[in-house]
Structures are given as structure tokens and as C-alpha cells.
Amino acid sequence: MTADNQLFGLGGKVAAIIGAGSGIGEAVALGCARQGATVRCLDVDREAATRTAETITAEGGAADAARLDVTDGAGVTHAFDDIVEQHGSLDVVVCTPGVNVRKRLVDYTDDEFDRVVGLNLKGSFRVLRAAGRLMTAQGSGSIILFSSIRATVVEPGQSVYAATKAGIVQLVRTAAAEFGPSGVRVNAVGPGVVTTPLTVQIQDDPDWHGAYAAKSVFNRWARADEMVGPTLFLASDAASFVTGTLLMADGGWTATDGRFTPPGM
């Protein structure tokens, strides 16, 4: 039997990776290119996106870069239209950016609420809306948003962030139902704690860092590149019948009820 080496490949596909300038987005952009996709690296930091694109081209891949702020609805639409105009299609969209303000509910300000919801939830909505219009018209495509373990479990100080990550899952499910008849799949990835610029505050606190590591059955944090495999699976034809799902990539965080091992086990 001959192995199907193209099952997880992205050859011939055009991918837009939002947040490609650092962290998970950067790792996913590199991963998509290494699987054969032509990649548009998008980030609010144009220089960072350009560095990622240059890394891809230095490896022999195809990539370019542009600035994108997902809080700008017209900008999101223009960015995707430009990709289609230049490359002829938009086959994969991955959206990774997020922001968190860690405060108890009673201390949250309206402006902080609006900031977190505006980027995490409304930004994801804008991406879904713009990509969905193009992909349903072309009759194919895969959209992958980034949710979190906080869509299902919380801790003090995570109220608004958690609400946005749960909201992303419901947006994904609704988009999957609406776009599916046109051949478009929509899914979410739910990371646990990942070593990225977003989690520097926790990484710098040994007790906090250690407590989070202990929540994984592997007793460690995830690397950004460990989010690439789950994302590529959802982007590829290997997931041709997968839509409306939240794929947890959390090292067992949400699967285990504490880390105590009973005697004799």
C-alpha cells in the first residue's frame, strides 16, 4: 500500500496567518509553508510579519507580509480581498491574536472590557465574516480560530478573557453550520498554557509558572510549535469531514481532575 503523503499537505493552497509575527502565529505560518502553502503573514506589527515571511522564503517557501489589525473591519476585508486578487484564492485562514486583562470582575473597567472583547471576540467575528464571504463564494476553504482552555475552565481574574474564548467556540459552531453547505470548514484550537509573549507575566513568576506546568499531565508548558500540528490537521484535507469542533491541545489540562495520584495507583 502506498502512503498518501498529501493527506496532511497544503500544496497549492493559499493561507493567511493572522498573528504571524510571533508566538503561535509565527510557528503556524512556518508550518503551513513547510507543508507547501503560499503564506501571507499578517500581523499588527508589519516588521515582525515581514521577518517571518523572510524566514519562509529563506527556506525556499513562498510568503509575503502585510499589516493587519483585526479591530479594523474594513482592513480585514481588504486584506483578504487582496490575497484573492493576487493569488486567485483564499484556502486557509488562521487567526491567533488575543489579549487578556487579568482582573477580578469588580475591578474591571468598561474600557478594559471593550478592549478584550473588541480584539478577541469581535476581531474573530470580523475574520469569520470576511473569510466566510470569500470562501463560500469559491466553494471551499478552512477557517481556524484560536480559543483556549478558558472556554471551558476558569480561575479568578479570567472572566472577560474566558467569555471571549467561549464566545469564539460558538461563533465557530455557527459559522460551520452556515458555511458548511458551501464546502467551507470552520474549527477552533484550544491551547493550554503556551510559552509565548502573551504569557511572559506568568513565566516570570516561578510559583505561577510551576503551578500551570503541574496542571498538564506532562508537567510542563507547551511550546508554540506544538500548536502547529493540530492547526495543520484542521487546515488540511485530513480533516475534510471535521467542522464545528474545538480541538483541545492542552496537555490533558481539561481532561484530568487534579494531579493527585491515589495510593496504590
7 inside domain? no
Domain around 185: 14-249
Q: Within a domain: residue 228?
A: yes
Residue 229 belongs to a domain with what CATH number?
Answer: 3.40.50.720
One-letter amino acid of 262: P
Residue 84 lies in a domain: yes
Question: Any idea which residues carry the catalytic annotation?
Answer: 161
Question: C-alpha 239: how far from its chain's center?
Answer: 16
Asked if the structure places residue 113 within a domain, the reply is yes
In a domain, 255, yes or no: no
Task: Examine residue 263 and state whether it is found in any structural domain, yes or no.
Answer: no
Query: Using N-to-C axis directions, what is the helix angle for 122-138 and 159-179, rounded to 10°?
Result: 10
Core vs surface per residue 229-239: b (16+ CB within 10 A) or e = ebbbbbbbeeb
Residue 3 falls inside a structural domain = no
Taking only the tens of pLDDT, the chain with its 265 residues reads: 333 458 899 999 999 999 999 999 999 999 999 999 999 999 999 999 999 999 999 999 999 999 999 999 999 999 999 999 999 999 999 999 999 999 999 999 999 999 999 999 999 999 999 999 999 999 999 999 999 999 999 999 999 999 999 999 999 999 999 999 999 999 999 999 998 877 888 888 888 889 899 889 999 999 999 999 999 999 999 999 999 999 999 999 999 876 656 566 5
Q: Is residue 262 part of a domain?
A: no
Count how many domains the chain has.
Answer: 1
> What's the predicted TM-score (pTM) here?
0.94
